[in-house]
Structure 1
């Protein structure tokens, strides 16, 4: 009986982790939420449940809503720029084809669920997760359940214990806020003041930038494998130019409105405000590699469904650089080096290590 209960819960684990992670932007907190959901599942009268899936989704969503309140207070005090925790979504190095399980095991269900389409990958992109920070907790819950998991409003209303009309209203507000934030970010990056007026780094919305789900950068009509082939080549060229200090070549790989964000959490020295423009970003990256990356391997990898680099030294994960590619050039970089935020990805690597 106990084994059956465990097996039934495990069948829902990826979806539960995916809900909590999208709600919180934190893999470690999502793990805690899923573990608490399991404890409640063990204690519950499962014979009275019509369907385990909706019951578990409701538990995880409500636990995530409770956690969001304290999480936002912590982020307001965060040192420097806040970025979501990276999650590896591939088990092989450059090709990024195999799925990584919750613990990183090859062949297991990917921790964020299937990411077989551009829309599914966009739903866990760093860009979208940062934009979701602008939403109220109920708006975020509705947006995640509707956009990422295609829940009907009837089921969302039951999960949140609101009316179906209220669920639709929350969803409309959330979509308007996300689209509005993305449009504002694109407009700002195109304007003359974008290079001189960085966003406030201490605020939870500091790293806001347009998401592929909103601005169509990823190209949802393209096949995932074709997209991967394109970004792997671009990323490898980018690494070579950065290591060689070839600023001219590096600048050519960066979009005119490129932005670099970095999250060291006050534990690792990073730029505490966004770096804007190809020349400044190129110098920043080349200088950082020259100063800090001696003996560090930079491995192309798929993180949060998109192109990224893993910084590895003697088998240890030192950082993750998530990249957003637009029109064949790198439009955004998000550099995660806060050790606390790399713990989940490091555990994944301990089980399934990429080939450098």
Structure 2
């Protein structure tokens, strides 16, 4: 491996991390990684003082272009859209959660909110809040004035603050609630489900139209409990539920014949320990990256 390839590999995780936070899908993020590599391979690297910053800027521009194209595709997406789940932790998804960013910056809850930002607002938010870039550097990266970038950053922060859950239960509580919720779902115990759901709970099922799931968000604890009981007979025989860290927090992964086929990530109110939102991803196209890192 030559030197410039080694340099790229050293910072590949950061490149992927920028792209994933911008796009919410691993497949599109990998496309950005490939484009960034091609540009790096052709660049005059003798003029590059900080390879990580240089590669981050390339990845941000490529991600912005990709995000603008992706928005049109997502308008025709069947059912609710959720980010593609990724296994995280010390031994997987290197660079997605690293010393440059916290687990919260790849949480499902935050990525859902980021979908409601404009592409430019999302780019500024990710580069500033997750990667700590200065406004001047972001402005240069995006081809905008520093004043415009500050305004975009302010709007994005206010938007996220208004829409993101202000708090979530700690990981131990979320993990325990997740286990109880899945146990009750697997056994069809509606009384147990009703006892752990917040009155205004939401169920969001991302199927992409490829597996059975509601095509709209289901709201209300009685409706969600009945839904879980109704779908429990559809869980394939032989399914095992494994509890792993996904997108920086506890999650349940449904596994059949050694391969994951669905992921559940819950948002839990820390004051009541009740489930405020249940996110389920069953679209097989969104489980490719998770399956590749599964062991």
Matched, 1:113 2:89: no
Q: Which residue of 1 aligns with 2:7?
A: 8
Residue 167 of structure 2 contacts residue 269 of structure 2 at CA under 8 Å; is this kept in 1? no
Q: Which residue of 2 aligns with 1:164?
A: 146
TM-aligned CA distance change 1:275 to 1:295, over 3 Å: same
Shift of 1:176: 2.2
Matched, 1:99 2:91: yes
Distance in 2 (CA, whole Å) between partners of 1:312 and 1:306 is 18
Residue 81 of structure 1 contacts residue 272 of structure 1 at CA under 8 Å; is this kept in 2? yes
**What 5-or-longer segments of structure 2 have no aligned partner?**
none
User: Residue deviations 1:266-308, cap 9 Å, x none?
Assistant: 1112100111112211121122122233321111111111221
Q: Which residue of 1 aligns with 2:54?
A: 55
Residue 115 of structure 1 contacts residue 121 of structure 1 at CA under 8 Å; is this kept in 2? no
Distance in 2 (CA, whole Å) between partners of 1:330 and 1:100 is 27
Match of 2:283 among 338, 344, 347: 338
Instruction: Name the count of aligned residue pairs.
Output: 293
Q: Which residue of 1 aligns with 2:70?
A: 71
SS at match of 1:89: coil
Shift of 1:232: 2.3
Shift of 1:115: 7.6
SS at match of 1:298: strand
TM-score, normalisation: structure 2: 0.94
TM-aligned CA distance change 1:111 to 1:155, over 3 Å: same
SS at match of 1:123: helix
Match of 1:306 among 249, 257, 268: 249
TM-score, normalisation: structure 1: 0.78
Distance in 1 (CA, whole Å) between partners of 2:156 and 2:269 is 25
Shift of 1:178: 2.3
Distance in 2 (CA, whole Å) between partners of 1:312 and 1:111 is 25
Shift of 1:139: 1.0
Which stretches of structure 1, 4 residues or longer, exceed 3 Å deviation after superposition? Answer: none
Match runs of 1:222-301 below 5 Å: 227-301=170-244
Q: Which residue of 2 aligns with 1:203?
A: none
Q: Which residue of 1 aligns with 2:81?
A: 82
User: Residue deviations 1:218-256, cap 9 Å, x none?
Assistant: 5xxxxxxxx333322222222222222211111111222
Shift of 1:114: 2.2
Distance in 2 (CA, whole Å) between partners of 1:246 and 1:55 is 54
Residue 306 of structure 1 contacts residue 323 of structure 1 at CA under 8 Å; is this kept in 2? no
Distance in 1 (CA, whole Å) between partners of 2:234 and 2:118 is 41
CA RMSD of aligned residues (A): 1.8
Matched, 1:21 2:20: yes
